[in-house]
């Protein structure tokens, strides 16, 4: 008879909505061809899916209708056989409107379950991002560039079918390769997509992640007050005023108070890097940042608060000085350290660090500013990844 199998797809809100929908739909179509039943659904509607905020789709496959209806009674599966992250920066942890605190990308993966990630990074690098689990699980990395297949557009780079082909390999209980390929042929009517799925099945390698591997930090959490703890009336606490920055013996500038609960960094796929030697103190990044994520340093330059930054890129766009603020792939960072404090500790070492961060980084973009930019970006990324990845 088999058992019920659950698949979770975690994606960047809006930017990867179509991609996640195609993957979950493809799972169910293949399952039905294999004699099973299934359902695909989104964890959220359009309303909370903002630019880059993590969101989820699910596909539930069961041996019969009764088992499927039992699984459908759950608002969200307590554990998953497969979790798919279609952006490798999601592996640092995700937070959205519907849960509180940082949720590890592998939080719901069951023992011996599998985390599937699309990335140009090697598996060992992905493991370092993921929070540790108390039991072994498996990791499958599909060589692929970021695929921003959004609400309004779909970029036909085969990421959807490559993920589907990989699922047939890492979770044969879910669906057979033959059923998956037949479903892809029927849904997309494209022999090249069938070939892409088969190659992903053949080429994807699976690595076991031990309990002593991964990010050892305990993700931040907080508890909302219960109904018995609510005060009389309706109150909304105002944010307290900020205070001067205190770094070593130096005091000055201004650091605003920020929301202590919602950390916007899980939205980010790129991060601003500031070259303080080039800053002309024009204030534009500080004034135009929609999330107020810059601190005013005692020297009147502007330091990024990486907890508050969502990676929108407005600061880099408004900065009038070439290469003063540059957006860098979030996968290149391992912490949220203050850039200005790093600069003050050793300006020469910081300058070398900035040059290293900017040299040879893989380009990331949520949108495209002119016709043909997507095709140019694909060519650059494929060249940087040794020819791996997809293209239109």
pLDDT value of position 15: 84
Decide: 165 and 196 in contact? Cβ < 8 Å: yes
pLDDT value of position 225: 67
pLDDT value of position 145: 82
Q: What is the C-alpha separation between 265 and 98, in angstroms, rounded?
A: 16
For the chain, where are the alpha helices, taking DSSP H only? 17-33, 65-72, 123-129, 159-170, 177-188, 191-203, 284-288, 314-318, 339-345, 347-358, 373-384
Transcribe 301-325 into DSSP letters: -EEE-TTT-----HHHHH--STTTE
pLDDT value of position 388: 43
pLDDT value of position 157: 84
Q: What is the C-alpha separation between 200 and 181, in angstroms, rounded?
A: 12
Q: What is the C-alpha separation between 4 and 67, in angstroms, rounded?
A: 7
In the numeric block, which tokens belong to residue 43? 């964890």
Q: What is the C-alpha separation between 254 and 244, in angstroms, rounded?
A: 4
pTM (two decimals): 0.81
**Homologous superfamily of domain range 5-209:** Pyruvate-ferredoxin oxidoreductase, PFOR, domain III (3.40.920.10)
Q: Where are the domains of the chain?
A: 5-209, 250-384
Fold entry, domain 250-384 = Alpha-Beta Plaits (3.30.70)
pLDDT value of position 76: 72
The residues with which 342 forms a beta bridge, in sequence order, are: none
pLDDT value of position 391: 38
pLDDT value of position 381: 61
The ranges of the chain with pLDDT < 70 are 1, 44-50, 70-75, 97-99, 149-155, 225, 227, 229-239, 360-375, 377-378, 380-392
pLDDT value of position 387: 45
pLDDT digits (tens, 9 = 90+) for 266-305: 888 889 999 999 999 999 999 999 888 999 999 999 999 9
Q: If 0-12 CB within 10 Å is exposed, 13-18 middle and 19+ buried, where does residue 125 land?
A: middle
Q: Are strands 294-296 and 109-119 parallel, antiparallel or unpaired?
A: unpaired
Q: Say what percent of the chain tops pLDDT 70.
A: 81
Q: What is the C-alpha separation between 110 and 82, in angstroms, rounded?
A: 8
In the numeric block, which tokens belong to residue 143? 């060589």
pLDDT value of position 89: 93
pLDDT value of position 392: 36
């Amino acid at each position: 008879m088999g058992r019920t199998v659950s698949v979770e797809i975690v994606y960047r809100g809006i930017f990867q909505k179509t991609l996640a929908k195609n993957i979950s739909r493809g799972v169910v179509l293949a399952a039905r061809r294999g004699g099973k039943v299934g359902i695909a659904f989104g964890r959220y509607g359009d309303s909370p899916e903002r630019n880059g905020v993590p969101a989820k789709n699910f596909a539930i496959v069961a041996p019969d209708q009764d088992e499927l209806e039992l699984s459908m009674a759950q608002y969200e599966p307590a554990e998953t056989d497969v979790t798919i992250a279609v952006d490798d920066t999601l592996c640092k942890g995700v937070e959205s409107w519907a849960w509180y605190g940082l949720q590890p990308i592998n939080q719901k993966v069951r023992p011996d379950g599998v985390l599937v990630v699309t990335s140009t990074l090697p598996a060992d690098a992905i493991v370092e991002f993921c929070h540790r689990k108390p039991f072994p699980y498996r990791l499958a990395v599909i060589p692929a560039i970021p695929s921003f297949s959004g609400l309004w557009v779909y970029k036909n780079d085969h990421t959807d079918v490559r993920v589907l082909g990989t699922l047939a390999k890492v979770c044969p209980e879910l669906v057979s390769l033959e059923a998956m390929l037949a479903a892809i042929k029927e849904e997309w009517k494209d022999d090249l997509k069938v070939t892409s799925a088969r190659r992903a099945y053949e080429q994807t390698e699976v690595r076991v992640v031990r309990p002593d591997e991964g990010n050892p930090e305990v993700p931040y959490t907080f508890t909302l007050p219960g109904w018995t703890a609510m005060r009389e009336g309706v109150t909304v606490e105002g944010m307290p005023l900020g205070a001067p920055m205190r770094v070593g013996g130096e005091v000055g500038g201004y650091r605003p108070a920020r929301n202590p609960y919602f950390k916007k960094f899980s939205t980010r796929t790129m991060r601003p890097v500031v070259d303080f030697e080039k800053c002309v103190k024009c204030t534009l990044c500080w004034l135009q940042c929609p999330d107020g994520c810059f601190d005013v340093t005692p020297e009147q330059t502007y330091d990024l608060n990486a907890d508050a930054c969502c990676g929108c890129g407005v600061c880099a766009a408004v900065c009038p000085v070439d290469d003063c603020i540059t957006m860098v792939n979030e996968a290149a960072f391992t912490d949220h350290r203050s850039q200005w404090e790093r600069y003050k500790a050793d300006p020469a070492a910081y300058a070398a660090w900035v040059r290293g961060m900017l040299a040879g980084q893989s380009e990331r973009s949520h949108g495209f500013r002119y016709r043909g930019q997507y095709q140019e970006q694909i060519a650059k990324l494929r060249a940087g990844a040794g020819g791996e990845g997809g293209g239109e």
